[in-house]
Structure 1
Amino acid sequence: AERARRHVDDPGFDGERLARHLRERGEAILDSWAEILGAAAEGSGQRCYSPYDEVKQGKALLRGIEERSSLGEHDRKFTAPTSMRDVESTVHIWVDRGAIWGSR
């Protein structure tokens, strides 16, 4: 919150409101994480990092964006794309040939 306050050039900006919002958001994420792991422990369930994890046992902690619709409130907070293809149709790449073959 302090960094965000320093980047705003607006005399009417409410830094305390921003700090409160960020604190509440962080607490909500941590509460959801505790809820997910608590439910897994109660049901003797296992969790793996993702469906691509070597262990591949249990319900994945992180899921692809396409799987969000069937998730509960807490699980939806921990979805992540598995590839740039999930978030961008095209990714531009610039090659600095000087760095590869030396300056010319």
Structure 2
Amino acid sequence: MALRALLFTVVLLCILPEAPFDRAVVEADPMIPRGGNGKAVLDCTGLCGVRCGRHSRPNVCLRACGTCCFRCKCVPPGTSGNREMCGTCYTNMTTHNNRTKCP
């Protein structure tokens, strides 16, 4: 079972950096699950798991990423960088110490 999960994670890491993540594409894709209001429902846990997979402090990263995903409805592709792909909501969110919040 662990081998299957590891293989799935490796496949995702190989595919995600190549695929551009665009909110408009997410909204237009009929295969993405929709909520009662017709808006796309993102799997924040799965997306943040990939995003924080190589972080030195994965629990801290997952907590911050989950908050950012819930508020901004976006998680950038890859394990770091690409923050501008989620727009100003993601890039401008800060902690109480004026540090960037979203990984």
Q: Same fold (TM over 0.5)?
A: no
Q: TM-score, normalised by structure 2?
A: 0.26
**Larger Cα-atom Rg:** 1
Q: TM-score, normalised by structure 1?
A: 0.25
